Amino acid sequence: MLIRSISGIRGFVKEDLNRDTIIQYANALHTTLKPGVVYAGRDSRPSGETIIEIMIEELLKRGRTVIYCGIVPTPTIQFMVHTTEAVGGFIITASHNPIEWNGIKFVREDSTFFHLKDCEKLFEAADNFTPDSLHEQEKGMIWEEKNAIYKHTVNCSSLKCINIDKIRQKNFRVVIDAVNGAGSLALPAMLELLGCEVIMLNCEPNGKFTRGTEPLPEHLSELSKQVINQKADVGFAVDPDADRLALVDENGQPLGEEYTLVIAADGYLQAMQTIEKFVTNLSTSLALDKLAASRKCSVERAEVGEINVINKMNDIGANLGGEGNGGVILRECHLGRDSLVAATMVLNRMSQSEDSLSAIYHTLPQYKIVKDKISIKALDKELLLSKVNDLFPGVEKDTSDGVKFIWEDKWIHLRSSNTEPIMRIYAEATSEQEAQELILKIKSIV
């Protein structure tokens, strides 16, 4: 069954993303966007080649001009839309889902992903599409853009919060694990532009995901080993569409995705010396809140989902935001999670002192987050949420996205995934044991 959400559409390649379905969504995208040029790209999954061919073919039939960037990070397409006159774009990717999945992310004229109302309009158009409704038009044109990654990296290296000279002087030694995904060419190019010595791991864009697709600590053992063996300053890992970045310190210790945004924000504040309001989602670490408070800054929370964070950033005029899955969003580049921006900002923080990455990490507020999930195929989701609601009487509660219980130095959040048939349970506390105990309380009533 096709999963449809603010993250676009996602499903199993053979069962859900057949030719007829792809044609439906290509035509729905055409009717949803205003006339003009559309950017297209994909991650490295082999199934993406056929899907993007069908999408482009349909858009050309409708008279669209399509600029195809090939295998590039999702944020590269967003950046290209942001910096041109394009009216939108799309990316063929299933992000962190396994190889048997694929999907389509849809990009608006302002370079953000489709908002909820845009998605509703798009899904309705797809549901009501019939081949009979098509009218013959003069065929559109396709252009290949071979410099998208180069343009993106140059922009990241010239951000106001970045001191490229300082970064280059450090000659950082970096191991990059791109999981053979869309970041396989882009991340090494970004690091080389920043004067780093780059050691590449899983950087063939062939879609052979040799580790778990999410850059979680349990999937980064080979990266950790290489960081130690190569005496590197840092290890970077991304997911298949390269919008998220995880860090491994010089001792081969994974720092967890949560600290990518915190370290980026720390460097940003040191560089800019401004009072900021950051935005993150309900499932992101308290470490960002504590860091912000120590610099007289603040954090506002949004529902989980990149577009929800971006909408909140726009509401309050925030310059920096992101999610605790390794997603950093910097307004100056474009409004989307971007591993190239994240890598540049982390290296910038590392260039601001003589401290190692592990030393920088230990200067930050220390919290332990535990991430778990349960299948909802055999569960009554509403009944479960209702039961959980009564689990911690008298505790501060947020029900804007599932249910989250909040104490001074810990929290637990239960919500439905936007991309998989599961419920996610995230908990954080000052110790892993305490966070795990909170999760066990929830799971005891399933």
Q: What is the CATH number of the domain that holds 109?
A: 3.40.120.10
- The string of pLDDT tens digits covering residues 48-94 is 999 999 999 999 999 999 999 999 999 999 999 999 999 999 999 99
Residue 1, judged by CB atoms within 10 A of its CB (0-12, 13-18, 19+), counts as exposed
Q: Note the pLDDT tens digit of each residue in 173-232.
A: 999 999 999 999 999 999 999 999 999 999 999 999 999 999 999 999 999 999 999 999
Instruction: Indicate whether 409 belongs to any domain.
Output: yes
Whether 253 is in a domain gets the answer: no
Number of folded domains that form the chain: 4
For residues 120 and 101, state if they share a domain. yes
Same domain, 8 and 62: yes
| Residue that is last in its domain, among 87, 117, 146 | 146
| Statement to judge: residues 127 and 22 lie in one domain | yes
CATH code, domain carrying 399: 3.30.310.50
For residue 135, pLDDT beyond 80: no
Catalytic residues: 95
Dump pLDDT digits (tens) for 100-130. Answer: 999 999 999 999 999 999 999 999 999 999 8
- Is residue 196 in some structural domain? yes
Average pLDDT, the chain: 94
Q: What is the pLDDT of residues 263-296, one digit of tens each?
A: 999 999 999 999 999 999 999 999 999 999 999 9
The DSSP secondary structure of 63-124, one letter per residue, reads: T--EEEEEE--HHHHHHHHHTSS--EEEEE--TTS-TTEEEEEEE-TTSSBPPHHHHHHHHH
**H/E stretch holding 436:** helix 432-443
Distance CA 321, CA 347 (A): 18
164 CA to centre of own chain: 24
Its domain, for residue 280, covers: 258-362
Say what the pTM is: 0.94
Which of 273, 300, 245 lies closest to 96 in space, CA to CA? 245
The answer on 400 and 306 residing in a single domain is: no
Among 224, 248, 272, which residue terminates a domain? Answer: 248
Parallel, antiparallel, or unpaired: how do β-strands 298-302 and 320-323 relate?
unpaired
Q: Are 131 and 9 part of one and the same domain?
A: yes
pLDDT reported for residue 423 = 87
Q: 397-426, pLDDT tens digit by residue? A: 999 998 999 999 999 999 988 777 788 999
